[in-house]
Each structure stands twice: as structure tokens, then as C-alpha cells.
Amino acid sequence: MNMTLPRMPKAVVFDMDGVLIDTETLYRDSFLAASQDGGHDLPVELYQRVCGSPWDVISGTIIAEHGADFPMDAFRDAWLRHLAVSMAGGVELKAGVVKMLDLLDDLKLPRAIATSSRHESVNRHLGPHNLLARFDHIVAREDYTEPKPSPMPYLTAAQRLGVDPAECLALEDSYHGVQSASSAGMMTVMVPDVAPATERMRETCIAICSGLSEVAALLRDERTLG
């Protein structure tokens, strides 16, 4: 894969879970624990396919693959119980977040969040790290009608930023998120977390980066070349 940007972006749009905060491993492990509690034998590959998606997408996928009689309410309650325990002490930032935001300040690039989580979750997870004010806009689940993989979350973010989607760099860790950002027309970089990069992701994204420090290096290189 060509590890260069096609052009310098005019704005950057971040997914939250798995890109800014280290929550996806907690969601995954709680998902698998709830599956084990109920004897459902849900495979980790199922979670990898739906990670970063809102509950209606996740539950719809489970029902489609395991039948309408799947005890969804009981499974969700068990998942939330395990998740509450794992998040009781708060969640950590992903490596390189603060340095990435510092670089965007230096480059004077506006930035937004486009997440499948709700505003309450954004405030609860990012608030303790004093990061909320470092984003120009936060687009959460209440702000659009069609969730990822629809392009609407990213199109909404671009609209609020006042930047053409084609001039935005999107940072995603999930398959549905990559599809959402790419179909919105954004330059999309996957930063894999619990879901590994697939051949389809490599074909869709302009780059696959191991972390935000690698994304920052792309931006510095593009600024130098520009």
C-alpha cells in the first residue's frame, strides 16, 4: 500500500471507540463473556464485523445469523453488566492521541468526531481526559438518522466543519466505519484495533496505519512535500 496522502487534508474526522479511546477490547471481551454466560457460542469474528456499530446494527446482525428467537434482551443485559465492571475505573486513551491533536493545532486543521456512541458516552469517556474542547464538533448517535455503515455520520461531520468531504481525512478502526467514511467520499485511513485489516479494507483505504503516530507521520510528510 502506498503510505502517502493524495493531498493535504483541510480537516480530520476521528471515530472515537478504538481510535481515540481504548474501549473496543473491553466491548469485545464483554461481548464474548456474555455469549459464554448464555451458552450462545457467538464467534469473535462476528464482533469484529460489527464493532464500532450502534446496538440496532449489532442486534440485527445477530438475529440475521442466529435467528429471531435469540434471547437478545438477556444477552444485552449480560453484556452491559460485564462492560460496567470492565469500565468501572475509566478508559484509557489510545497511544498518540494528545500528540496527534497537538500536531493538528500546529497545522491549524479543524477536527471532529463521528461516532456511533451517544453524547453521554462521549462526555463520560473523553471528559476526564480534558479532550472535549479540542474538537470543533462532535457528531454522535443522536445527530443522524442512518448509522454507520451509512455515510451520514461522516457527511454530517463534514457539513458541520464546513469542509468538502473529499478534503477530509477520516480515521477509523472498524469495517463499518471505513465503509461509512469512504462512501462519504473522505480520504480514509484504517487504524486497526480489534478487527484486523482485510484485503477489502486495503483496497478501500488510502492507507493502513498501525497507530496515530503513523498517521501523524503521514501528515508531516505531506506538509513537507506540499
* Separation between Cα atoms, residue 87 and residue 49, nearest integer Å: 22
Residues of the chain with pLDDT > 70, as a percent, come to 97
Cell numbers given for 41: 457460542
| Neighbour count for residue 56 (Cβ, 10 Å) | 11
pLDDT value at position 171?
98
pLDDT of residue 54: 84
Question: What's the whole-number mean pLDDT along residues 81-92?
Answer: 94
Query: Is the model's pLDDT at 226 over the cut of 80?
Result: no
- Evaluate whether 101 touches 134 at the Cβ level (below 8 Å): yes
Based on C-alpha coordinates, what's the Rg of the chain?
A: 17
Q: Across-strand partners of 111?
A: 12
The closest alpha carbon to 61, from 153, 147, 181, belongs to 147
Question: pLDDT per residue over 184-212, tens digit each?
Answer: 999 999 999 999 999 999 999 999 999 99
Q: Is the pLDDT of residue 1 over 60?
A: no
pTM of the model: 0.92
Report residue 8's pLDDT band, with 50, 70 and 90 as the boundaries: very high
Average pLDDT rounded to a whole number, residues 175-180: 96
Cβ–Cβ < 8 Å for 7, 181:
no
118-165 pLDDT tens trace: 999 999 999 999 999 999 999 999 999 999 999 999 999 999 999 999
**pLDDT tens digits for range 155-174:** 999 999 999 999 999 999 99
Cβ distance 113 to 20 under 8 Å? yes
224 pLDDT higher than 80: no
pLDDT of residue 155: 98
